[in-house]
A = this chain, B = another copy of it.
Amino acid sequence: MLLGPDYQNLGETQFCLWAPSRKQVTIHIIFPQEKKIEMKRHKKQGYWFLSVEDIYPGYQYYYQLDSKEEFPDPASHFQPQGVHGPSQVIDHAFLWEDQNWSGVSLKEMIIYELHVGTFTPEGNFNAIIPRLDELVDIGINTIELMPVAQFPGKRNWGYDGVYPFAVQNSYGTPDSLKKLINTCHRRGMAVILDVVYNHLGPEGNYLSKFGPYFSQKYQSNWGQGINFDGPFSDEVRNYFIQNALYWLEKYHFDGLRLDAIHGIFDMSATHFLADLASAVRKFSQKKKRKYVMIAESDLNDNKIIKPRSQGGYQLDAQWSDDFHHSLHTLLTGEKSGYYQDFGNIQDLAKAIKEGFVYSGQYSSFRKKSHGNSSKFIPGEQLIVYAQNHDQVGNRMLGERLTNLVSLAALKLSAAMTILSPYVPLLFMGEEYGEESPFLYFIDHGDQNLVQAVREGRKEKFAQFQWQQDHPEPQDEKTFINSKINWQKREQGHHVVLLDFYRLLLQLRKRYSLLQCPDRKQIKVWNSEKTRVLAQQRTGQDCQFLLLSNFHFRDSQYNCKQSGTFSCKSGWHLVIDSCQEKWLGNGSLAPNIFCVKNKITLKPYQFVLYQQKGVNNKNGKK
């Protein structure tokens, strides 16, 4: 039984609503002409159902409850007038042209995280399309859209969404989102959607009028936890599982990114996420296509992706903040907040070898032991990034890494991420060194809420000396200033950085040792003193040596000391970030070396060597 209005062609629409404690439910059509139709209790407890003739796409309605108040549909497919307005019947028929689309495997994915509102001046789905070719050109094959579910106002990161089934009206229509995805698939790109199943936004959230969607037991960072394990939780779980399948089925998304699953509280014998993953696997089998389920998790818990037989939830992958934090602290020297737990070369070394850096040891930031081991988790199940919307946007001034470190460090950062043994994710604009900030912006209608958000930010950044001229979340300027400047791709050093990303992505694609290799094939050597990290990767017919200098000065890499490799036939230089063509100051790394003992690395230099004599055929995937 599909929730929401299900348009059946020929003017028949089936409405289905869950409202277990209501005595009467009326569909109140308000456009194009007013009409009231009383719903019937479904035999399945708590559901109301009605198949209505002469209801066409474009018709707008509210649900009236117990002959009194009326509210939009909790499973609305579109809110043309925003979160407080009526819901609209949608015809999901669409001329899809992706019948032959076979998807992108996790291992191959190069993910590009994109916020629809700030990616283009227009800030909508249509405006993304002309830019796809340029993304494909540098090697991006997967777009991850930040949440597009209807949120209050016109500007929001998306995490204040209150209609999980409705496409944000300021971004376009259901059709324009489908057109974007259809075009992506034709260009060979997968599209992942960020969905929020741990909370709902504070404005326009009428869910409690319909049923016990929220729990009294749990408090998350974003308010009341969702009722995944109390009375009536079967139906709440169904609402979110249907939501996941809806995006995959109606919009042809290739997967979902589940926001902050550490805010999903569930003591049921089968965890909601295990049920969700299982439902998507079944759907996958039916459609004969793989859909990926990626969690954002702050738990460092391998249970999230372990198979069910080992007590896991069996999601496909999760984000790895530890990789980010290890890299970020080495590049910026930052020590505040959660960065206090990182800052040593060995953290990054562990992130490369194992995944989670915190695998059970004490975290000063958290004031408790944290995590378990991800050593056994295949590389393609962890997503890594040097930047993402959170890591940039949750800074008081929303600075990108571009604003914090030198070009040399940016190139090193790119190499570490793209050639990591995990799945890389880039944050829109990162590839050419975008400099505009990504700030926190909202457009709430409720002034008390606007003030509350402002106070919240003030408190959060108290330690950073909150300034009166700090960007105001509600101010449209804050949103506009966060837009990226696409034309920069063709200007000055941005062009070179873009080329550098392109080359790295080509290399990753070309060599299996640079694309989620088995981490047993990687030997890592690192020194806190020299701040050099070396990786030797050994395949059947191919070897790579990756040298990274995290020192702001020249630093020496001593081949003998490291003992990470023996060199039979000489190493051949593949990429050297300090060469002048990459706007470097020149490099001391030789083009070929055999029994050389030491290499002097320039500040933030990255060098990739390949074993001499290996031909591409052998080295290729």
Q: Are A303 and B360 closer than 8 Å at their CB atoms?
A: no
Q: Are A234 and B310 closer than 8 Å at their CB atoms?
A: no
A310, A367, A371: which has the most chain B beta carbons within 10 Å?
Answer: A367
Q: Which residue of B lies closest to A306 (CB)?
A: B311
Report how far A310 CA is from B308 CA in the complex, Å. Answer: 8
Q: Inside 8 A of A300's CB, which chain B residues have their CB?
A: 269
Q: Are A233 and B368 closer than 8 Å at their CB atoms?
A: yes
Q: Which among B217, B269, B299 is the interface contact of A269 at CB below 8 angstroms?
A: B299
Q: Are A367 and B219 closer than 8 Å at their CB atoms?
A: no
**A265: interface (CB < 8 Å):** yes
**A579: interface (CB < 8 Å):** no
Q: Which among B218, B234, B367 is the interface contact of A231 at CB below 8 angstroms?
A: B367
**A95: interface (CB < 8 Å):** no
Q: Are A371 and B217 closer than 8 Å at their CB atoms?
A: no
Q: Are B269 and A362 closer than 8 Å at their CB atoms?
A: no
The answer to whether A302 and B217 touch (CB under 8 A), given A230-B368, A310-B309, is no
Query: Could you pull out 20 A-B pairs where Cβ atoms are within 8 angstroms?
Result: A217-B218, A229-B368, A231-B366, A232-B367, A232-B368, A234-B362, A234-B368, A262-B267, A265-B265, A267-B299, A268-B299, A268-B301, A269-B301, A269-B302, A269-B303, A269-B360, A269-B371, A306-B311, A310-B310, A310-B311
**A465: interface (CB < 8 Å):** no
Q: Inside 8 A of A230's CB, which chain B residues have their CB?
A: 368
Q: Inside 8 A of A218's CB, which chain B residues have their CB?
A: 217-219, 265
**A51: interface (CB < 8 Å):** no
Q: Are B368 and A231 closer than 8 Å at their CB atoms?
A: yes
Q: Are A303 and B311 closer than 8 Å at their CB atoms?
A: yes
Report how far A368 CA is from B234 CA in the complex, Å. Answer: 5
**A369: interface (CB < 8 Å):** yes
Q: Are A372 and B269 closer than 8 Å at their CB atoms?
A: yes
How often does this chain occur in the complex, in copies? 2
Report how far A372 CA is from B309 CA in the complex, Å. Answer: 13
- A359-389 vs B, CB cutoff 8 Å, 1 = contact: the mask equals 0101000111111100000000000000000
Report how far A270 CA is from B311 CA in the complex, Å. Answer: 12
Q: Inside 8 A of A268's CB, which chain B residues have their CB?
A: 299, 301, 368-370
Interface residues of A (CB under 8 A from B): 216-220, 229-234, 262, 265, 267-270, 299-303, 306, 309-312, 360, 362, 366-372
A314 CB, nearest partner CB in chain B, Å: 11
Q: Are A234 and B309 closer than 8 Å at their CB atoms?
A: no
Q: A234-B368, A270-B372 are in contact. List 12 more A-B contacts (CB 8 A).
A: A217-B220, A218-B218, A230-B368, A231-B367, A265-B265, A268-B369, A268-B370, A269-B300, A269-B301, A269-B302, A303-B311, A311-B311
Q: Are B232 and A270 closer than 8 Å at their CB atoms?
A: no
Q: Inside 8 A of A368's CB, which chain B residues have their CB?
A: 229-234, 268
A228 CB, nearest partner CB in chain B, Å: 10
Q: Which residue of B lies closest to A266 (CB)?
A: B267
A210 CB, nearest partner CB in chain B, Å: 16
Q: Inside 8 A of A267's CB, which chain B residues have their CB?
A: 262, 265, 299
Q: Inside 8 A of A269's CB, which chain B residues have their CB?
A: 299-303, 360, 370-372
Q: Which residue of B lies closest to A46 (CB)?
A: B367
Report how far A218 CA is from B224 CA in the complex, Å. Answer: 11
Q: Inside 8 A of A220's CB, which chain B residues have their CB?
A: 217
Q: Inside 8 A of A371's CB, which chain B residues have their CB?
A: 269
Q: Inside 8 A of A310's CB, which chain B residues have their CB?
A: 309-311
Q: Which among B219, B265, B299, B369 is the interface contact of A234 at CB below 8 angstroms?
A: B369
Q: Which residue of B lies closest to A308 (CB)?
A: B311
A406 CB, nearest partner CB in chain B, Å: 36
Q: Which residue of B lies closest to A356 (CB)?
A: B269
Q: Which residue of B lies closest to A309 (CB)?
A: B310
* Across the A-B interface, the 3 shortest Cβ-Cβ residue pairs: A311-B311, A231-B367, A269-B301
A122 CB, nearest partner CB in chain B, Å: 41
Report how far A224 CA is from B232 CA in the complex, Å. Answer: 23
A218, A232, A360: which has the most chain B beta carbons within 10 Å?
Answer: A218
Report how far A299 CA is from B229 CA in the complex, Å. Answer: 10
Report how far A311 CA is from B302 CA in the complex, Å. Answer: 10
Report how far A311 CA is from B217 CA in the complex, Å. Answer: 24
A128 CB, nearest partner CB in chain B, Å: 36
Q: Which residue of B lies closest to A232 (CB)?
A: B367
A110 CB, nearest partner CB in chain B, Å: 29
